[in-house]
Amino acid sequence: MNSKNILFLLGFLLVVYSCEPDKDDNNNNNSATKLEESRIRGEIYADMLSGYYWNYKIPTNVDTTADESPVDFFNSLLYTALDRWSFIVTIQEFNNLNNGIFYGHGIMFSYDEYAHIRVAYVYKNTWASEAGIQRGWILNKINGQPIYSYQQLDEMVGEGTAKVTNTFEFTDNEGNIKTISLEKEEITINPILASSIIEVGSTKVGYLALESFLGSDIEGKLDDVFSDFKANAIDELVIDLRYNTGGSLETANYLANLIIGQQADQNLFIRLTFNSDLEPYLSDTLKLYNILKKPNSLSKSLSRIFFITSGQTASASEALIKGIQPYLTTYLIGTRTYGKPVGMIPIQITKSDYIIVPVMFEWKNAQGESSGYAGIGVNYAEFDDMTHAFGDTSELCLKQAIHYIRQGSFIPRKKSASEVIFKKPDWRGIRSEIGIY
């Protein structure tokens, strides 16, 4: 989507909604800093009135001259009954996010079937990786404090700030206690966790584990994977989105192009709907994402696709699943997805260091369906098996997909994962978009 055109239209609507601070004696006596913050609050208010998806829920008695930080002011405008995602950041923070850069340890955590918090993956070439931390390790403590929940994990790891050191206690995969101190570092997202071609008898199964739709040259990296899949003429495809918290809808569209561009060229992928003030003025070129055949689109048409999901599968990854469903039979293995049928567009506040990223649209597929706010249900409920590597056919979720490909059915289990569903926390801001610590 060309967000620049939408923001250009917002400029016109701002004329209608603009609210310049009152120039009374009290304001004239304020410092230049307070006057500037008042101007910023006024612009935030005008932007939200014109572009926010739930603009009809914004309070009408807003005082932009009140002594309140731009961050607190922005948050006071949100329709929190549904909006768990809109956020405000600095220009530098947003640019880092857009380029897939953040400060942290490079470790993703997730719950296992016994509600233990385990290491889901570790980014390569990080201090955590060099320290030997591996997928499957159980997290016991951070800085001496026992950790039982994501809330505690958030509190103990802290904000994404450099020069912060945390001490972790783990139980490794052999049952040994490991205590490791790590300083936060600049991490660059590498969204492709694993890719391989698995031979199931004479059937070739492409497997791709994708942790987000962010990062530099992500489309080029996806091209490399699908060039290999195409050259080997894969018969089946498994896309592992269990840790994919979302990112760019354009990139999700690009991946759909690679998967079904050959068989669904020019068909609708996703349609966006904006608020009632914007919707009449936006052309279909801004609201419609279509499927387009690409040079590395699979040349062998698939009849079905398998997705591995969890409560951390959100936003653009849910749009990928729903966008493909009208054209392929889809099988979801894992647990119900998160449920985020809306998306944000960044708006820079003029002459300031702030960028607001409000929810501005809802998405639906060609059949008028989205993930809803409850997420997408699965065809077979299975636990996240962090005791095996990505692409290992013994890993429970992938094992189920392979069994279905072989036998046309899933393996029955005594304990169903549908009994225990762990959703990712309602993080707001950069953590929500990245999901990794």
Enumerate domains of the chain plus CATH numbers. Answer: 3-98 (no CATH), 102-188 (2.30.42.10), 192-424 (3.90.226.10)
Q: pTM of the predicted model, to two decimals?
A: 0.91
Checking 195-199 for CB contacts under 8 A at 24+ apart, the result is 195/225, 195/228, 195/391, 196/391, 197/228, 197/229, 197/232, 197/234, 198/391, 198/393, 198/402
Cβ contact 391:401 at 8 Å: no
The strand pairing partners of 272, in sequence order, are 363
Cβ contact 327:420 at 8 Å: no
Q: Would you call 170 helix, strand, or coil by DSSP?
A: strand
Checking 326-330 for CB contacts under 8 A at 24+ apart, the result is 326/267, 326/365, 326/366, 326/367, 327/260, 327/263, 327/264, 327/267, 327/291, 328/259, 328/260, 328/302, 328/303, 328/304, 329/303, 329/304, 329/305, 330/304, 330/305, 330/306
- Residue 4: what pLDDT? 44
Instruction: Report d(CA 120, CA 28) in Å as an integer.
Output: 55
Instruction: Report d(CA 133, CA 253) in Å as an integer.
Output: 34
- Residue 13: what pLDDT? 47
The strand pairing partners of 183, in sequence order, are 165
Residue keyed to tokens 């300083």? 183
248 HSE (CA, 13 A, CB side): 21
Instruction: Report d(CA 292, CA 294) in Å as an integer.
Output: 6
How much is the CA Rg of the chain, to the nearest whole Å?
A: 23
DSSP calls for 338-371: ----EEE--EEPTTSSEEEE-EEEEEE-TTS---
Cβ burial of 393 (10 Å; 0-12, 13-18, 19+) is middle
- Residue 135: what pLDDT? 97
Q: Would you call 412 helix, strand, or coil by DSSP?
A: coil
Cα–Cα distances (Å) from 40 to 16, 34, 45, 47, 71, in that order, read 17, 10, 9, 10, 10
Instruction: Report d(CA 74, CA 101) in Å as an integer.
Output: 24
- Residue 12: what pLDDT? 43
Instruction: Report d(CA 264, CA 251) in Å as an integer.
Output: 17
Cβ contact 119:236 at 8 Å: no
Rounded mean pLDDT for each run of 10 residues along the chain, 437 residues in total? 50 47 50 86 96 95 90 96 94 84 90 90 94 97 92 82 88 97 90 96 97 90 98 97 94 98 97 96 93 96 96 95 98 95 95 95 98 95 94 97 97 65 60 71
Instruction: Report d(CA 13, CA 278) in Å as an integer.
Output: 9
- Residue 54: what pLDDT? 98
Closest CA to 433 of 316, 331, 273, 355: 316
Cβ contact 309:332 at 8 Å: yes
